Structure 1
Amino acid sequence: MRNAPHLLLNTPDIELWPGGLLRARSNHDARLLARASHVLRRKRDGRYLAVQLRGGLMPLVTRLPEEPGVEPALALLDARLSQPARMPPPSGPLPLDGLQQRLDRLGLDASAYAAQTGLPLVAEPACLQLAGFDRYRRPLWLTRGAARAWQRLHAAAAIDGIALDAISGYRSHAYQLGIFERKLARGLDVAAILTVNAAPGYSEHHGGNALDIGTPGEPPAEESFERTPAFAWLQRRAGELGFHLSYPRDNPHGIVHEPWHWCFRG
């Protein structure tokens, strides 16, 4: 991307969003978000913590300085504001601090889980690029390479008369834990959830290179996608554009067949 408004800057606890992309949850939020150049968003629950306005930073929570991880997020914001044109976006992966604490909440051991599934740890990128919007008009965040590859894939499919849409892209470790907690609250157990969702820290979505892909009129993330012309097209053409099906039938990771889940590997 050409400038910061199209980049999501990532820290272990807080995301730094460009203004104008987040949905308002009240009229008060709507007025602030409309004027904000950046928004600090807590990863574990999506809470908006502060907005950067023309006149300075406005906290949206009490005791903002006591928020975990707020200091590195504010330092990153200050750096971006001081030299927005010359400063390159942060690069590299984020540290994996806090991973075992999340797994402890699910009764999982990192080493045992990795040995059982063969899934590698996946760190979150320090910076993600806006790749468009998903089916639900949410911003779609991917790495720079995956964003460009998705746009090429989408365009190539359209030329062939195939409509593809993105269901989801990047997901943080904290968001992945939230998926488990919501399903546990509905009465599912961890073992059942692990057949359809990788444990926090082990999902390809964390790395910003994986996409759940659908087609209009088809329910999201359902095996029935395998019977659509869109899936047949992906089988023929996705590989040449750098995308690969991660979880085919009878895959060795213990995850159900996911015809919708494709990962950019270059």
Structure 2
Amino acid sequence: MQRAAVSDGIDLQICSGYRNFEKQLSIWNAKASGKRVLLNRESQPVSIESLSSNQLINLILIWSAIPGMSRHHWGTDIDIFDANKISREQLRLIPSEYQVNGPCFELNQWLNKHAQDYGFYRPYQPQLSGVSPEPWHLSYFPISAAYLEAYDLQSVKSVLASSDILEKETILAQLESLINEYVIRVAPIPNSQ
């Protein structure tokens, strides 16, 4: 897919691929503690000082998964950008970068036409997922479909219960609904060819 994109003038590069539990935990805890900026759905910074535990969790989930609930753990999902148009250091992974006049708009259009030809799809689409639309996020469906099918609530619950995740009690109290909303409810996997 990368070679085909190059022939169309797009330098498709991965900015994030496999992410282990500990890395996702560090991202989550940095956001939950205010050490990392939280963005709302409009990609604007939000102060967390007056938020309840549920409000904080819901705000983090706009753009980041709970450890154990990230598809990046599976090794089947990647975040991509067009290195001809924006550097990795400039990239913010916000929707406007993939919309008209954004540096990755041509990449976005190219993926709409070609991603499925290479076994990839976008699991996070408007009204088809609990996760905010992420035009940069691709999933390799020949393998990710099996991981989604085998996803186990009790295993995730056990790992989270023994972790040092911030907001643990609130997460565990609603874990099944969070998994249904943010892991299970994704865009339908396209028919493989």
2:5 aligned residue: 157
- Richer in strand (by share): 1
1:103-150 deviation per Cα after TM superposition (whole angstroms, max 9, x unaligned): xxxxxxxxxxxxxxxxxxxxxxxxxxxxxxxxxxxxxxxxxxxxxxxx
The two structures have a TM-score, normalised by structure 2, of 0.55
2:135 aligned residue: 259
* In the alignment, structure 1 residue 220 sits paired with structure 2 residue 92: yes
Structure 1 counterpart of 2:71, from 192, 204, 214? 204
8 Å contact kept, 1:243–1:264:
yes
Task: Report the aligned-residue RMSD.
Answer: 1.5
Q: How many Å separate the matches in 2 of 1:250 and 1:225?
A: 20
8 Å contact kept, 1:169–1:208:
yes
Report % sequence identity: 32
1:236 aligned residue: 113
After TM superposition, give the deviation of residue 251 of structure 1 in Å. 2.5
Q: Which runs of 5+ in 1 are unaligned?
A: 1-152
CA 154–160 in structure 1, closer or farther in 2 if over 3 Å, else same: same
SS of corresponding position for 1:263: strand
After TM superposition, give the deviation of residue 211 of structure 1 in Å. 0.3
SS of corresponding position for 2:6: helix
Aligned residue type for 2:7: I
* In the alignment, structure 1 residue 185 sits paired with structure 2 residue 62: no
Q: Which runs of 5+ in 2 are unaligned?
A: 35-46, 49-55, 100-104, 143-193
Q: How many Å separate the matches in 1 of 2:64 and 2:72?
A: 11
After TM superposition, give the deviation of residue 225 of structure 1 in Å. 3.2
Q: Which has the higher contact order (CA 8 A, sep 6+)?
A: 2
2:123 aligned residue: 246
8 Å contact kept, 2:123–2:129:
no
8 Å contact kept, 1:171–1:206:
yes
Aligned residue type for 1:182: A
Q: How many Å separate the matches in 2 of 1:193 and 1:180?
A: 8
Aligned residue type for 1:173: F
8 Å contact kept, 1:214–1:220:
no
Q: How many Å separate the matches in 1 of 2:137 and 2:92?
A: 11
After TM superposition, give the deviation of residue 154 of structure 1 in Å. 0.9
Aligned residue type for 2:97: F
Aligned residue type for 2:123: S
Q: How many Å separate the matches in 1 of 2:92 and 2:6?
A: 19
After TM superposition, give the deviation of residue 262 of structure 1 in Å. 0.5
After TM superposition, give the deviation of residue 202 of structure 1 in Å. 1.2
The two structures have a TM-score, normalised by structure 1, of 0.40
Aligned residue type for 1:171: R
8 Å contact kept, 2:28–2:65:
no
Within a 5 Å distance, the mapping from 1:1-266 to structure 2 comes to 153-186=1-34, 188=48, 189-216=56-83, 217-218=85-86, 219-227=91-99, 228-253=105-130, 255-266=131-142
